[in-house]
């Protein structure tokens, strides 16, 4: 039987426990899950693409069903290249809904077979975002309960506390 492959694309700048919650839920539904960090020319990330890839690699190293990767350009082209048509996205509070719907419908317009699946994280991560995490560390505080120890350490290094 053909393997069911899903792609979870995102900036992951940086990866949070909210992203990991979605990865673990999605991995249960598919044979393989590709977690793919986006090289987005419109955004200047705090962590370089290589750093974001390294974080993903070490976080999911023990899970053979989870692969990590990077891509640039259109998601639908990346999906085609990976022989997948399933996009995983996380839905937090209502604020995610409008832009996620726009993106899902645009991807379907570009490639009609594309299906976007929205997964809901555990309630404790529902208000967690990478940008909020970055702000907290930038302002000199820390939230090690919402990121992995590696991300906690790298954020402290970035903001001069390491």
5, 129, 136, 150: which one binds ligand ADP (CB under 6 A): 129
Instruction: Kindly name the residue from 92, 108, 156, 158 that is annotated as catalytic.
Output: 92
In the chain, DSSP assigns E strands to 5-10, 32-39, 66-72, 86-90, 115-119
Q: Does the footprint of ligand ADP cover residue 52 (CB under 6 A)?
A: no
* Cβ–Cβ under 8 Å, residues 52 and 15: yes
The four Cα atoms 30, 50, 72, 132 give a dihedral, to 10 degrees, of: 80
CB-based contacts of 111, cutoff 8 Å, min separation 6:
76, 79, 80, 85
Q: How many residues bind ligand ADP (CB under 6 A)?
A: 16
Let me know if 156 is a catalytic residue: no
The helix/strand/coil state of 25 is: helix
Q: Does the footprint of ligand ADP cover residue 89 (CB under 6 A)?
A: yes
Let me know if 122 is a catalytic residue: no
Let me know if 19 is a catalytic residue: yes
59, 84, 107, 130: which one binds ligand ADP (CB under 6 A): 130
Nearer to ligand ADP, 19 or 151 (CB): 19
Q: What positions carry a catalytic annotation?
A: 19, 43, 92, 130
- Binding residues vs ligand ADP (CB under 6 A): 10-12, 16, 18-19, 22, 89-90, 92, 96, 121, 125, 128-130
């Amino acid at each position: 039987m053909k393997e069911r492959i899903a792609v979870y694309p995102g900036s992951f700048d940086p990866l949070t426990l909210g992203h990991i919650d979605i990865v673990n839920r999605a991995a249960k539904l598919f044979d393989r899950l590709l977690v793919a960090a986006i090289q987005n020319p419109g955004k200047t990330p705090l962590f370089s693409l290589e750093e974001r890839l390294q974080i993903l690699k070490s976080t999911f190293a023990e899970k053979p069903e989870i692969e990590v990767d990077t891509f640039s350009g259109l998601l639908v082209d990346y999906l085609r290249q990976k022989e997948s048509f399933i996009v995983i996205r996380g839905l937090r509070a209502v604020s995610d809904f409008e832009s996620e719907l726009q993106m899902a419908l645009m991807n379907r317009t570009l490639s009609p077979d594309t299906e976007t699946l929205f997964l809901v994280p555990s309630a404790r991560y529902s208000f967690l975002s990478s940008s909020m995490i970055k702000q907290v560390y930038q302002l000199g505080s820390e939230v090690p309960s919402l990121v992995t120890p590696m991300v906690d350490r790298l954020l402290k290094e970035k903001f001069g506390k390491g």
